[in-house]
Amino acid sequence: MELELTSAQCRALRARAHDLNPVVMIGNAGLTTVVLNEIRSNLNSHELIKIRVFSDEHATRDRWLDEICTTLHAAPVQHIGKILVIYRPVPAEVKTRKNKAVAKRKPARRAKRSYQRQ
C-alpha cells in the first residue's frame, strides 16, 4: 500500500528535496533489512529523504524504489539517475515523542554579554 500524492504535492516535495543530501546509500549488497530499517528511521525523523543507489541498472533501481515504498508505506517523489526521493508523513506517535523530548530540554543559557548589560 503506497501513499498517493497529487502532482502539486509532488512538485512541492521535489522543490523541498532539491537542497537535501542523500542520507541512506544502497550499496553492492542491495536492499537488505538493515538498509530498510535505516530508511524507516530516517523517514521518522525527516519525512522527506534522498537515497543514493550504487547500481547501474535502471530496472533494479525502479524495483527497489517500489519495494521501499510498499514496505514502508511511503510515496515515491522522484527518481533521477541514481538518486531516489521518498516521502512519508511522520506518524502521530513519533510526533508526540519528539514533543515530549523537546519539553524536557533545559532552557538555553544566557550569553556572557547579556549579564554585562544589566
| Domain of residue 11, CATH code | 3.30.110.60
* Cβ atoms of residues 64 and 31 within 8 Å: yes
In a domain, 2, yes or no: no
| pLDDT band, very low/low/confident/very high, at 108 (cuts 50, 70, 90) | confident
Cα 36–chain centre separation: 12
Please say whether the dihedral angle defined by the alpha carbons of residues 91, 92, 95 and 96, taken in this order, is positive or negative: negative
For residue 80 the three cell numbers come to: 533521477
Is the pLDDT score of 2 beyond 90? no
Q: What CA–CA distance (Å, rounded) separates 85 from 64?
A: 12
Amino acid 60: pLDDT:
94
In a domain, 14, yes or no: yes
**What letter would DSSP give residue 81?**
T
In a domain, 103, yes or no: no
Is the pLDDT score of 91 beyond 80? no
In a domain, 118, yes or no: no
**Structural domain total, the chain:** 1
Which structural domain, as residue segments, surrounds residue 63?
Answer: 7-91
Per-residue pLDDT tens over the stretch 95-106: 666 666 666 777
The neighbouring-strand residues paired with 26 are 53
Q: What is the mean pLDDT of residues 19-30?
A: 93
User: Other CB atoms closer than 10 Å to residue 10's CB: what's the count?
Assistant: 16
In a domain, 114, yes or no: no
Q: What CA–CA distance (Å, rounded) separates 61 from 55?
A: 7
In a domain, 24, yes or no: yes
In a domain, 109, yes or no: no
In a domain, 36, yes or no: yes
Q: What is the mean pLDDT of residues 27-40?
A: 93
Per-residue pLDDT tens over the stretch 43-69: 988 999 999 999 999 999 999 999 999
Amino acid 90: pLDDT:
82
Cα 24–chain centre separation: 9
What percentage of residues in the chain have a pLDDT greater than 90?
65
